[in-house]
Every structure is written in structure tokens, then in C-alpha cells.
Amino acid sequence: MTRYPLTVEQRRLWFLQQLNAADASYNMYIAWRWRGPLDPAALSAALNRLAARHEVLRTRFDLVDDQPVQLVEPSVRIELEQVDLAVPPGAPEQELDRIAAAAAGERVNTAFDLATAPLLRAALLRLGHQDQLVCLTLHHIVSDGWSARLLWSELLACYRAELAGREPDLPELKGTFGDYALAEQERLAGPHAEREFAFWQQKLAGIERLELPTDRPRPRRPAHRAVFGTTRIEPDLYAAVERFARQERCTPFMVLLAAYQVLLSRWSGQREFAVGTPIAGRTEVEHESLTGYFSRTAVIKADLSAEPDGGEPDFRTVLRRVRSAAMAAFGHQDVPVERLVPALGLPRSAHRPPLYQTLFVLQSQNELANATAEDAISGVDLRPAADAGYAQAKFDVLLDLWRHAEGGLTGSFCFDAELFDRATAEATAQRYTQLLRRVVADPLLPLHGSLLLDEAERSALLELGAGAALPAELPTVLERFAAQVAERPDAVALECAGETLGYAELDRRATLLAARLGELAGQVVGVRLAPSFDLVTALLALWKAGAGYLPLDAAHPVERLRFLLAVGGAQLVLAAAGDSEAAALGVPVLELPAVWPAGTADPLPAPAPGAPAYLLHTSGSTGQPKGVLVDHPALAARVAWMAGPDGYALGEGDAVVQFASIGFDTHAEELWPALAAGARCVLLPDGGRLLPDFLRTPAAAAVTVLDLPTAYWSELVALGAEVAWPAALRLVVLGGSEPAAGSVAAWRKRHGDSVRLVNTYGPTEATVIVTSAELDAGSAVGRPPLGRPLPGVRCYVLDGRQRLVPRGYEGELALGGAGLAAGYRGRPELTAAAFLADPFAGGRMYRTGDLVRWRADGQLEFLGRTDDQVKLHGRRIEPGEIEAVLTHHPAVSRAAVVVRDATRLVAYLVPRAGAVVDPAAVRAHLADRLPAFMVPAGYAVLDTLPLTPNGKLDRAALPDPGPDTAAAREFRAPDSDAEVLVAEIWQEVLGVARAGALDDFFALGGDSLLVTRVAARLRAAVGLEIQVRDVFEQPTLAALAARIEDLLIAEIDGLTDQEARQQLT
């Protein structure tokens, strides 16, 4: 037995087979329809003659001294499997092809055991008298396209020789594939390898992993099943490709590859990535008569970067870049993948190639379809099988092109069927031909997204993105509220802490306060009030006075609140009676009465049609929050849908919980539609954080509608039976982040269709929401959608030049139509950058920064961000704002803020020269300037921020600092039973190694979502009514344990002597 090393390419395939022994994606096949006489004995003898001739057909692969090697057996026997297929009498040709493909597919899609030779299977599948399919299956590790063509030709030569009783006339072999492997090993052990590494590191700098928008999430254990889309490049188009190639001094291969790169770039939204393409790899003449895995994969960098003037490159420019990259790749065929991947900062995955995720193949003179005269068998009609049933996907997408008999090309797009639908494969195949025809006809066309669209598809996209028409005139929320007051004055408008307030009384109080305020047309007034009847009264009063409200959260730092008032131009703050802290805000304060006086007041003149409704602030990447001003027409458009029959269908019998703080725009989705529809709004005195406690009270039973941040809802769903959902609940509205299919499935398992579940999406700049989707049974698998546009909304998916991209392609979501905010208060430069002219329908258009695509079902799907903005627990955060505040600390030179584990913010700090960074001091610096949800939970001090080879922040290289080092305190081990119990639960919920009696839950990384989980675990553990409030109000471990002990003592004290004895026994 002869032993050889593996080549680099063989080593890659061997490793993939070790990961998944059942993977057949690197099987190759040779399948020919054989009509005419066939001698099975002669065919079997011919096969075994080939095995004796070519070492690779006797080769197996195994470990020797912990290294994979090629082991060549002295002899092997190739068995010819013979099967008579079940064919109905008189079956038409199409049915024969289907039967043959099904039978062949069973063989070509079955994996090989690489440790057992031969790695070739042969089958003779009989369809009828003198009608059969000859199917050979090989593993790619011993073959390539050239070898397959050679094997078939030599098999026919040996078959003819067997029939004639003579030796076949075959050329003498000079060397073996093993010799080639040894030569490669020697070549790569010298300075040549270093030169190749340096070359490729420079050539591939800047590439990123190709991430195509998939139709389904990537499975944890892929099966690599394939789905195909086919296109024909007609002879006239291919002739045009050849002419254009000659004009540009390149090859048709390069033109076809450039078009493929353009297609992938516009689909993914990426400009620099790698495309693999096989090359023969037979660098010596003697290799031409050998079989084996000689071919290599050249790596061609796709470069669709902008021109120096910032414009899109044209096709001629991209083609010239492809020509340069291809020529360089063909001259440097040794690609050191294992060294390049970490050097280029590319991520690794066990189931995805790290350097290139797509393959482009142009079959040349070696393709099997070109039968030659030498291959002829007397009296036999030989044709390649129309379909051999092959259903394996090596890559996310592969394009295979070959010549057809009429002189054009056939293109087969092979997609991974676990990721992509057949419709996607078919549409991509047709789009490729359409693109090729356009760029060859006009190579100077800029390569923007709409290049891939014809007029009909462009019109269809605009229609798809347009919501239903709104009525010409819409009443404002204030007008709708007034109508409810007139129709149902005594109906309950608000409920809070067991008390209620009717519509008429709410309106009376608001009118009194408005009269006291006087006319404030166009002004903005700060509101510093907790959830209460007074809060809603103040908001309505400001509207009646013509002003908009600016929410001020008392928990936020005074410095930040002063800034919000200043940039908002607010000259007045409304506060609760006795709120002494409001005076520190630096503007006049009007306190609401502790007891509302009797009587009425004359109403003020109606506000102007475009009067401001509210001013909300979102995180800003420049270091300062941005004030979004929403007017009454915008709010009216949204409330009309929310309250109406096509939206949430609110009515007199509904009770809607006010969960969100009025500092977040979701409050407008809870409060105003309820009051506009005559429903009851249930206020939570301590805010939404104590919702689980409220849900456990009798008052919650009548709640019909909940509007929750998706992350919060997911946490409640995960608690299962611990959460008491209201008996009357009919609708749950989600928003703020993407729901997980698993959470939807768990919800539906408990509630089925009895509670409607709606996913909503929208930025503050477009007035709460712009799309909605019903989360039905289909949303329990795959990726739940953002939905379709609301009435009056226009949704556009655009490329970087604000051109429409095709359905299924990634692009930035832009919004037009009704509901757009007036802009950013006092920030004309930001307004101009984000609110553009709408080139499709006139008016204005807002760029969201969200990456989306249109799904095949006509719904939008979220894919990511164009910038670093993140969502944490449904709150929009610009890390740049936090980083800007960090670098204003005298000890911090540079900073980076990232989200870790999707649950907490972590800050990475680089000290100024000579300075020492104290994380506790930095945290205090942030706490004085930012709201609590923007203060990182963890801190790490680094000498420098790690960067990728592309100069970007290397997030994967950032260490996890663990619990908040900024709030570290003396560790005292838990000692009482209650402390030990709390510590165990904290460690489990927070994922920390230890929790001490003096530790603070929030300093260890806890948040409002995890508080809910802790309370549920404690209830289950001790059987006491532990409230979410208990965890919030006793944040240290010792204090919470003491609270549990107090509750336990109280319960024991309430027992009779007999009950106490029963408890003890």
C-alpha cells in the first residue's frame, strides 16, 4: 500500500466530511442516457480496468500518526449495480426522465465513507429494452471536472476494447496524482508559500463575508439540500458577450463573472467580497492524462466600491477590476486559506466556507455535454442525462454555466434549499440574464439598484410599498376625544390604582388647566409628572392651549433634562403639586392643583391645523439627543388606523394598559387611540416595570389590550404559567425589536388564536409605527416579518443612491407619506440629512437607517442597520452618544460601547496619556449626564481598541469584563438560607460566577426584564407572593433576602396554631 499526503484542497474536503459524515454535497456524478445495446459484463470489466489504471480510484483516506493521508490500495473491485426500474407501459419521455432522475438521485445524493476504497459507485439503471441510464458517482476528493470528462472518455474506450477483445488504446500515464501531492507539499514548505500569503493578504484586504438575505434563518445543523433556478443565455446574447469581451481585451468568462458580482452586490448591499471559481490546476503536460482532484479554487475579489467622486461604478469599470483580479488569481494558484482567514479578520463557521461563500463556474472544453467522435459506440445513442437527481448545495449559491447545442449558454443557479425558496432561485436566474443583456448593451450604465428593474417591476414595487389611501380629512385626536366626551360623558376614560375618571371630568380638568395656561400656540412645554390622572390632564390641556408636550422623566439626570428643555425651546414645566425638585430645571414651573377646583372655563380657540403634538428625544450619534417634533396631522393619521376596524379595532368595551413611559413614543399608541375610541386607559402608578405585579391583581382581569416591548413580552412568555395574563385579553401589540419565532410558538401554544398577536415597526420620526404584521401560526417558524405599510404610508427599499432595489434584495428602508415628523427641533442640518425629497411620489421621505427587504409574500423583513445604532430592550441607543460623553471624561482618550449577549451595554476605555481610569468615576460621570438605560453595565480598560485589518473596531476581540466593575464592593458571602437562595437564583439569571450579600442586582448586569424572572423564580422556590416591586426596591442581595424573611414571618404570624403545626409537620 502506497501512502501520500493530502493536497491542500483534499485536506479541506476531508475535514468537511469529518464534520458531517452524511454530507454528500461534494459528490460528483457522470450520468448518460444510453439507448442501444449494452453489455453489462463488458462495462463492468471496463470500470475495473480504469481502477487498475488510475491510482485515485483505488485510494482511501485515513489517519496515520494523527494526520490524514492518502492510502493507495494495490487493487479494488468496482461493482456495477444493475437495477430494472419500474416504468409504466407507454410512459412518455418526460416520465422516463423523471423516473431515471429519481433513481439516480438515490445514488448521487448518498455520502461516501472516505476511509473505504473505491470512492466511485457505478449503476446501470434500466428503463426499458435497450434504454438505460449509466450513472457514476465519485467523491470530489478524488476527481474534478477534467477528471470526470477523462474517465467517461476512457471508460467508453475500454468498453469498446472489451467488446472487441483487445487492449484499449490509451496514452501511457507519466506519474500519479500522489506525485502531484508530494510536489505541492514540497512547494508549500519553502519561500513560495510566504510570497503567496503576502500576495493574497494584500489582494483580499477589505473583503467581508458575503451575507445574502435568506428566505429562512440559517439552521444550526445544515443538510445542504439544493434548489435550482435555470436560465438560458440565447445565442444572440452570448455573441454580444463575446464581442464585448474582445472590445475590452478580456474573456467571456470575465464578462459573465463581472455580471454575477454585480448581481450579488446589489442583492446583498455589499461592495467587497470574494467569489470562488475553479481552475484546472494542471500545470504540467503530464497531468492532462491523470485523474484526481487537481482543480483549485481561484479567489476573485469583487470590488464594487464607489468611484473617487463618490458615484457608482459603471459595468466597464467593474469588468476591468475583474480582469485585473482574475489575471492575478490565475498567476497565484496557491491560496493559503487557513492563514488568510484570521489575517483578514473573517469569521469562522463549521458549516460555511470562511473565505468565499459563492462559486462561479463556466464549463469549458472539458464539459461532459460535448461528446466527441472518439466517444461513439456503434449502434448506441449517447446523451447526457437531462437530470441526475443531484440535490446537494456546496454553497449558499453557486452559478454553473455551460454551452448548449444552439450556441448559447445554460445557467443553473444552485441555492441552499434550507435558506432559499425555489421562487428566489428562479427569479435570480432570470434577473442575471436580464442584467447581462443591459450591461452588455450599455456598459457605461451606473450600477445602481434600479439597473435590475424593468418598468413593470418598478411600478409593482411602488404599489407594494403604498399603504391604503387615507380620507381627505382626518379629525385630530383632540377632536375625537371631544366627540367621546359629548357622546359618553360619564364613561370611564382613565383608571389608576383602583380609582377612575370619566371622560367629562377629564375634559373639564383639562379645560381648566388650559385656561390657566393661556394660548401657547406652537410652543413646547415640559411635563414632569408620574403616570396619573394629572399626567393625562396636563397633556390634553397643553393641546387645548395650542402647545406640544415635552416629557421629562424625573429619574433622568438634571443636567440632561435641562439640555432637553433648552434645545426644545421650552419656557415652562408642568409638575405635580409639591414637586420641589422641578425648580432645579432652570425654567418656570407650574404646579398642578393637589385638589381640582369646581367649575368650568371657557375653551381656548382651537389649535392650528399643524400645531405640535409632542417633542420626544431619541439617542443621537453625535453625542447629543435629537428632538423629534410630531404634529397633530401626523398623529391623527396613525390613531385613525390604530383605533379603527382595520387596526386594533378599539371600542367602548376595551381596557388598554398604559405601559410605556411618555418619554417613548409607544405611549401614543396606548393612550391616544384608547381615548379617541371611547375606551378606558389603565395607568400604572409606578410605570410599566411593575406590570407583572398588576397582572396578578383582580383589576387586571378586565384588560383587553396590552402594548409591550417585544423583549419584555418575550421574557414574560418565557416564564410560562408564572404570568397571569388577563382573562379578557384579546390583543397584544409588539414593537421595538424583532420577535423570535420560538417566542411566538410558545405564545401560540398557550393562547392559540384566542388572543390576536400583532408585530409593529416604526421609528419615532414617522410617528410611532408604519407597518404591522399579524403573527399567526406561520410566524412560529422562520423569521417573523415587519409587515405591510399602514394607510397613508409609503415604504421604499433603496440602495445607497436612493434607487429602488428588487424584491428580495437588501436595502435601506425610506418612508414617505402621512405621519412623518416635522423634523429635529433646532437641528436643521440633521433634518436635512434624514428627511429628503421623495423622488417617487413627491413630498418628503425619511431615511430610517434600517436594512430590510421585501419578502415573497409582500411583507417587509428586518435585516440590520446601516450604522452602529442598537436596540436594547426595545430602546433605541446610539453608542456614539455614550462614547462622546465618555471621551469628555478627563481620563478617557478613546471609547467604544457595544451590546454583549443582547442584554447589556459594555464600555471599553483607553486612558489618556499619564491618566488612570477609575471605572466607578466614569460610571458616575455617565450617570450625571445620561438616562439609566444608556449607562453601561460593564467596563474594561484597554491599552488600545482592537481593530480588524480593515481598520474597523474588532468587536470579536473585545474581552467580556463580566459584572459591573465600576460598582464593585467588598464581597461578603451569603450566610443565611434566604441569602443563599437569592444568590443561587441571581447567579443563574445573571450568568455570574458568584453573588455576594452586598452586591447590587443592577450593578451585576440586571435589568427590568431580569427582575421579572427573579421574582418568578423566588415565588416558585419559597411559595410566597414575591412581587417585582420587592426586587426593585431591595436591589442588594442581603436586602432582598431580608424581605423574603419578613414575608415568611408575616405568613407564619397569620397562621392559626393548628395551621402552623401542619406546616411544621
pLDDT band per the 50, 70, 90 thresholds, residue 589:
very high
* 797-848: pLDDT as tens digits: 998 888 899 998 889 999 999 999 999 998 899 999 999 999 999 999 999 9
Q: Is 492 helix (H, G, I), strand (E, B) or coil?
A: strand
Alpha helix segments (H runs only) across 940-1053: 977-990, 1008-1022, 1028-1033, 1037-1053
pLDDT of residue 165: 94
Query: Does the structure show a pLDDT above 90 at 361?
Result: yes
Query: Does the structure show a pLDDT above 90 at 480?
Result: yes
What is the pLDDT averaged over residues 397-416?
92
CB 462 within 8 A of CB 282: no
Alpha carbon 928 to its chain centroid, in Å, reads 35
CA distance 1001 to 1022: 19
pLDDT of residue 144: 92
pLDDT of residue 1062: 56
177 versus 269: which is more confidently predicted?
177
Query: Does the structure show a pLDDT above 50 at 427?
Result: yes
CA distance 324 to 197: 18
CATH number of 977-1064: 1.10.1200.10
| 435 Cβ neighbours under 8 A, 6+ residues apart | 259, 262, 263, 451, 452
CA angle 45–48–53, rounded 5-degree value? 125
| pLDDT more than 70, % of the chain | 96
pLDDT of residue 130: 95
Element holding 228 (H helix, E strand): strand 226-233
* 547-574: pLDDT as tens digits: 999 999 988 889 999 999 998 999 999 9
Q: Evaluate the omega torsion of the peptide bond into residue 118 and state whether it is cis, within 30 degrees of 0.
A: yes
* Sign of the dihedral defined by the CA atoms of residues 52, 54, 55, 58, in that order: negative
pLDDT of residue 445: 84
pLDDT of residue 374: 61
DSSP string across 297-347: EEEEEEE-PPPTTSPPPBHHHHHHHHHHHHHHHHH-----HHHHHHHTT--
Query: Does the structure show a pLDDT above 50 at 368?
Result: no
CA angle 299–305–306, rounded 5-degree value? 160
R_g of the chain, CA atoms, integer Å: 35
DSSP letter (8 states) at residue 219 = P
Q: Which residues pair with 650 in a beta bridge?
A: none
Report the half-sphere exposure of 58 (CA within 13 A, side-chain side). Answer: 20
Query: Does the structure show a pLDDT above 70 at 369?
Result: no
**Looking at 655-669, 1002-1016, 1031-1045, which range is the least confident one?**
1002-1016
- Give me the residue spans of the domains in the chain: 2-179, 200-369+387-447, 477-854, 878-964, 977-1064
CB 628 within 8 A of CB 612: no
| 103 Cβ neighbours under 8 A, 6+ residues apart | 83, 85, 123, 125, 133, 135, 389
Question: Edge-to-edge strand order for the sheet containing 409-416?
Answer: 226-233, 409-416, 397-403, 358-362, 272-279, 296-303
Report the half-sphere exposure of 593 (CA within 13 A, side-chain side). Answer: 9
* 892-905: pLDDT as tens digits: 988 889 888 777 78
CB 657 within 8 A of CB 682: yes
CA angle 1035–1038–1039, rounded 5-degree value? 50
CA distance 147 to 946: 46
Cell of 1030: 420587592
pLDDT band per the 50, 70, 90 thresholds, residue 472:
confident
Amino acid at position 749, single letter: K
Amino acid at position 566, single letter: A
CB 319 within 8 A of CB 249: no
Report the half-sphere exposure of 168 (CA within 13 A, side-chain side). Answer: 24
In 866-958, DSSP assigns E strands to: 870-872, 875-877, 892-900, 904-911, 938-941
pLDDT of residue 1065: 47
What is the pLDDT averaged over residues 924-938?
85
Alpha helix segments (H runs only) across 805-857: 828-834
Burial class (CB in 10 A: 0-12, 13-18, 19+), 890: exposed
Q: Which CATH architecture has domain 477-854?
A: 3-Layer(aba) Sandwich (3.40)
Alpha helix segments (H runs only) across 812-904: 828-834, 879-886
pLDDT of residue 1064: 45
CA distance 607 to 517: 14
CB 319 within 8 A of CB 254: yes
Q: Is 981 helix (H, G, I), strand (E, B) or coil?
A: helix
What is the pLDDT averaged over residues 837-863?
93
Q: Which residue has the cell 429562512?
A: 216
What b-and-e string marks burial along 782-798, b requiring 16 or more CB atoms within 10 Å of the CB?
ebbbbbbbbbbbbbbbb
What is the pLDDT averaged over residues 358-366?
77
Residue whose C-alpha is closest to residue 395's, from 277, 300, 279:
277
Query: Does the structure show a pLDDT above 60 at 503?
Result: yes
* 121-135: pLDDT as tens digits: 999 999 999 999 999
CA distance 528 to 573: 7
Alpha helix segments (H runs only) across 658-709: 667-676, 691-695
CA distance 661 to 682: 13
Average pLDDT, rounded, for the chain: 90
Burial class (CB in 10 A: 0-12, 13-18, 19+), 522: middle
Q: What are phi and psi of 407, to 5 degrees?
A: 105, -5
CB 658 within 8 A of CB 670: yes
CA distance 686 to 1025: 19
Cell of 765: 420620526
Please identify, in words, the CATH class of the domain defined by 2-179: alpha beta
1026 versus 118: which is more confidently predicted?
118
| Helix then strand then coil, % of the chain, to nearest 5 | 40, 20, 40
Fold classification of 878-964 (topology level) = GMP Synthetase; Chain A, domain 3 (3.30.300)
CB 816 within 8 A of CB 844: yes
What b-and-e string marks burial along 1026-1039, b requiring 16 or more CB atoms within 10 Å of the CB?
bbbebbbebbbbbb
Alpha carbon 318 to its chain centroid, in Å, reads 28
Q: Is 285 helix (H, G, I), strand (E, B) or coil?
A: helix
pLDDT of residue 432: 96
The reply to whether 2-179 and 977-1064 are identical in fold is no
pLDDT of residue 760: 96
873 versus 438: which is more confidently predicted?
438
What is the pLDDT averaged over residues 709-726?
89
Query: Does the structure show a pLDDT above 60 at 370?
Result: no
**Looking at 598-602, 692-696, 861-865, 964-968, which range is the least confident one?**
964-968
Q: How far is the CA of 287 from the CAs of 49, 68, 173, 1043, in angstroms? A: 20, 23, 9, 81
Residue whose C-alpha is closest to residue 791's, from 769, 776, 758:
769
pLDDT band per the 50, 70, 90 thresholds, residue 784:
confident
**Helical axes 252-268 vs 422-441, angle rounded to 10°:** 120
CA distance 356 to 333: 15
What is 200-369+387-447's CATH superfamily?
A: Nonribosomal peptide synthetase, condensation domain (3.30.559.30)
Q: What are phi and psi of 998, to 5 degrees?
A: -95, 0
CA distance 1054 to 534: 38
Query: Does the structure show a pLDDT above 50 at 631?
Result: yes
Q: Is 432 helix (H, G, I), strand (E, B) or coil?
A: helix
Q: Pairing mode, if any, of strands 2-5 and 731-735? A: unpaired
CA distance 101 to 87: 13
CA angle 1029–1031–1037, rounded 5-degree value? 155
